[in-house]
């Protein structure tokens, strides 16, 4: 009996000692470890499924994907924070579908025997214009520089050149780059928009356009039913200059340097064929879920986790947009799930905001800023755009908002250990990110991305094959810790 008791005591002592030595795991850290690359990859795959047809805002397929996301938010116990107590914040968004039957070809003369046709290759040499009119046009090509008419600046690419019934070849942006600084670029700002250029081409009577942009898809443009255009790559542009005695890069450099147009008739003839359908009455939505804070005062402040749900839709083929931006929506979902399923309590509120129509002119975020759920002066945004590739994490605007950035750095140094970099984001004159819209509206914002492996941008190659699930998992862990620490911080995070 005595031996038995001694043995029992020994066991109890050993167990107690072990219990003392073992430190309890912080519930926040253990919640962070529930974030799994397996979930994240699956959510990317679901968004990229053909049934959502590339998630072009305005389409029924986009809205079906939005419903799926809302049902996930609902399952995790978030509160709907869209229009009238629903998950959705609605806005008008016209859209265009581009079908298979498209082409670009060059008519080459073959002496007395007429001509031969050179067909350009879809994706590598051209992409259809995502908001092109439907039909076919064959015409001579006129090089029209930047396609800008700016009398107030004494600049007109169309001066002294007749483009009626012709196909123009024009450049994106403006002769003055946004990097030249706000003072120099601002007068050109309006003219640098795709929309301004397209409508200016229509106004001058052009029948079509080779836009030296890409070749990538981009549904952020105006629409004119009679105007057909494509995004041409270098191979097409170089062919238009071939035999003219002019060098494309030299012509461009000279326009920029002298701010003097250099338009000319190329002597080339091309055919543009586009098969499109326009839907002027499209309606789209952003999806909004709320996790209310538990502090009576601090819960009136909000950390918005943002990522656009939409992509290119159908541009000849369906473009899945795995990195841009299914990856970021998946990471947002990972954070939402880890917070809710582990019952992590935060003093501040968190809004999960999946924007619609980022790709069609950053429309969803503009609409939210006009109809915010929390006052904008009590909001900050942690946005993500393209967080599914590579091994490094970057964020725009950390140096603009050091009081936010320190939370990110701290979480990375302690737990995530990824190469991490940030910048001072100064190019607000040309918002091309949801985050830039927020910053322009006075809302502090960081915009995350990842980099360091092959990427395909706005082409069908942006699919599951390029996704690195492990960087998504680390991005989600970094964001999770950042949100928890910011959410419970007693001091000011909003200056
Ligand atoms: Zn994007």
CB neighbourhood size of 51 (10 A)? 9
Which residues share a beta bridge with 290? Answer: 79, 351
**Do 273 and 293 lie in a common domain?**
no
| Residue 244 CA to ligand 1 centre (angstroms) | 38
Among the candidates 277, 310, 325, a domain finishes at: 277
CATH number at residue 167: 3.50.30.30
Q: Judge whether 131 and 223 are in contact, CB under 8 Å.
A: yes
CA distance 470 to 387: 11
pTM of the model: 0.93
**Do 343 and 430 lie in a common domain?**
yes
Instruction: Please say if the pLDDT value at position 421 is more than 90.
Output: yes
| Residue 399 CA to ligand 1 centre (angstroms) | 22
Place of tokens 């964020």: 395
Task: Quote the DSSP letter at residue 344.
Answer: -
**Do 377 and 459 lie in a common domain?**
yes
**Do 132 and 107 lie in a common domain?**
yes
Of the candidates 293, 324, 301, which has an alpha carbon nearest to the alpha carbon of residue 381?
301
User: What average pLDDT is seen over the chain?
Assistant: 94
Instruction: Please say if the pLDDT value at position 3 is more than 70.
Output: no
Q: Judge whether 35 and 334 are in contact, CB under 8 Å.
A: yes
pLDDT at 6: 60
In this structure, is residue 4 part of a structural domain? no
| Residue 82 CA to ligand 1 centre (angstroms) | 22
Among the candidates 233, 255, 277, a domain finishes at: 277
pLDDT at 9: 56
In this structure, is residue 21 part of a structural domain? no
In this structure, is residue 11 part of a structural domain? no
pLDDT at 158: 98
CATH number at residue 31: 3.40.630.10
pLDDT at 24: 82
Predicted confidence band of residue 179 (pLDDT cuts 50, 70, 90): confident
In this structure, is residue 51 part of a structural domain? yes
**Do 330 and 225 lie in a common domain?**
no
Average the pLDDT over 432-437 and give the result: 88
Predicted confidence band of residue 4 (pLDDT cuts 50, 70, 90): low
Instruction: Please say if the pLDDT value at position 431 is more than 90.
Output: no
**Do 190 and 323 lie in a common domain?**
no
**Do 404 and 313 lie in a common domain?**
yes
pLDDT at 16: 55
Instruction: Please say if the pLDDT value at position 328 is more than 70.
Output: yes
Number of separate domains in the chain:
2
| Residue 325 CA to ligand 1 centre (angstroms) | 5
Tell me which residue range forms the domain holding 462.
27-93+282-488
In this predicted structure, which of 135-139, 174-178, 404-408 has the lowest mean pLDDT?
Answer: 174-178
**Do 331 and 415 lie in a common domain?**
yes
Q: Judge whether 465 and 44 are in contact, CB under 8 Å.
A: no
In this structure, is residue 20 part of a structural domain? no
**Do 269 and 288 lie in a common domain?**
no
In this structure, is residue 263 part of a structural domain? yes
| Residue 107 CA to ligand 1 centre (angstroms) | 37
pLDDT at 174: 96
| Residue 203 CA to ligand 1 centre (angstroms) | 31
pLDDT per position as a tens digit, 134-158: 999 999 999 999 999 999 999 999 9
**Do 369 and 239 lie in a common domain?**
no
pLDDT at 115: 78
**Do 299 and 268 lie in a common domain?**
no
- CB crowding 445-479: b at 16 or more within 10 Å, else e: bbbbbbbeeebbebbbbbbeebbbbebbbbbbbbb
In this predicted structure, which of 41-50, 176-185, 248-257, 443-452 has the lowest mean pLDDT?
Answer: 176-185
pLDDT per position as a tens digit, 8-59: 555 555 555 555 566 788 999 999 999 999 999 999 999 999 999 999 999 9
pLDDT top residue among 326 and 113: 326
Among the candidates 223, 254, 277, a domain finishes at: 277
In this structure, is residue 77 part of a structural domain? yes
**Do 148 and 46 lie in a common domain?**
no
| Residue 324 CA to ligand 1 centre (angstroms) | 5
pLDDT at 12: 56
In this structure, is residue 366 part of a structural domain? yes
| Residue 132 CA to ligand 1 centre (angstroms) | 21
pLDDT at 23: 74
Q: What percent of the chain has a predicted confidence (pLDDT) above 70? A: 94
CB neighbourhood size of 230 (10 A)? 30
């Amino acid at each position: 009996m005595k031996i038995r008791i001694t043995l029992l005591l020994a066991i109890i002592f050993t167990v107690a000692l072990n219990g003392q030595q073992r430190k309890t795991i912080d519930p926040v850290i253990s919640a962070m470890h529930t974030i799994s690359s397996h979930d994240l990859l699956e959510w990317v795959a679901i968004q990229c499924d053909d049934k959502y047809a590339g998630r072009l805002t305005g389409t029924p397929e986009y809205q079906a994907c939005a419903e799926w996301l809302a049902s996930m938010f609902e399952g995790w116990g978030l509160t709907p924070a869209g229009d009238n107590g629903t998950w959705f914040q609605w806005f008008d968004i016209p859209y265009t579908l581009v079908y298979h039957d498209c082409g670009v070809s060059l008519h080459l003369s073959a002496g007395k025997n007429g001509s031969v046709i050179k067909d350009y290759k879809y994706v590598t040499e051209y992409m259809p214009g995502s908001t092109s009119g439907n039909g076919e046009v064959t015409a001579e090509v006129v090089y029209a520089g930047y396609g800008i008419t700016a009398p107030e600046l004494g600049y007109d690419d169309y001066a002294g050149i007749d483009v009626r019934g012709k196909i123009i070849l024009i450049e994106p942006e403006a002769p003055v780059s946004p990097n030249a600084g706000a003072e120099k670029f601002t007068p050109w700002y309006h003219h640098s928009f795709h929309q301004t250029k397209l409508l200016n081409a229509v106004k001058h009577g052009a029948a079509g356009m080779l836009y030296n942009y890409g070749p990538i898809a981009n549904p952020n443009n105006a629409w004119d039913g009679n105007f057909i255009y494509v995004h041409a790559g270098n191979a097409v542009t170089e062919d238009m200059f071939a035999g003219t005695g002019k060098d494309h890069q030299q012509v461009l450099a000279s326009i920029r340097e002298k701010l003097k147009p250099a338009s000319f008739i190329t002597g080339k003839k091309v055919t543009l064929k586009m098969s499109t359908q326009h839907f002027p009455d499209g309606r789209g939505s952003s999806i909004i879920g709320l996790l209310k804070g538990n502090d009576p005062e601090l819960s009136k402040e909000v950390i918005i986790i943002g990522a656009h749900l939409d992509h290119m839709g159908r541009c000849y083929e369906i473009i899945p947009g795995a990195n841009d931006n299914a990856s970021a929506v998946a990471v947002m979902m990972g954070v939402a799930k880890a917070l809710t399923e582990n019952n992590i309590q935060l003093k501040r509120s968190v809004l999960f905001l999946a924007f619609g129509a980022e790709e069609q002119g950053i429309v969803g975020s503009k609409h939210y800023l006009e109809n915010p759920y929390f006052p904008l002066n009590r909001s900050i945004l942690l946005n993500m755009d393209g967080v599914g590739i590579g091994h490094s994490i970057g964020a725009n605007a950390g140096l603009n908002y050091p009081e936010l950035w320190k939370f990110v750095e701290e979480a990375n140094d302690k737990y995530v250990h990824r190469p991490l970099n940030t910048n001072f984001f100064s190019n607000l004159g040309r918002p091309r990110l949801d985050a830039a819209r927020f910053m322009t509206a006075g809302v502090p914002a960081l915009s995350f991305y990842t980099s360091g492996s092959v990427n395909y941008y706005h082409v069908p190659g942006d699919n599951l094959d390029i996704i690195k699930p492990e960087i998504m998992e680390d991005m989600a862990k970094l964001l999770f810790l950042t949100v928890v620490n910011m959410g419970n911080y007693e001091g000011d995070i909003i200056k």
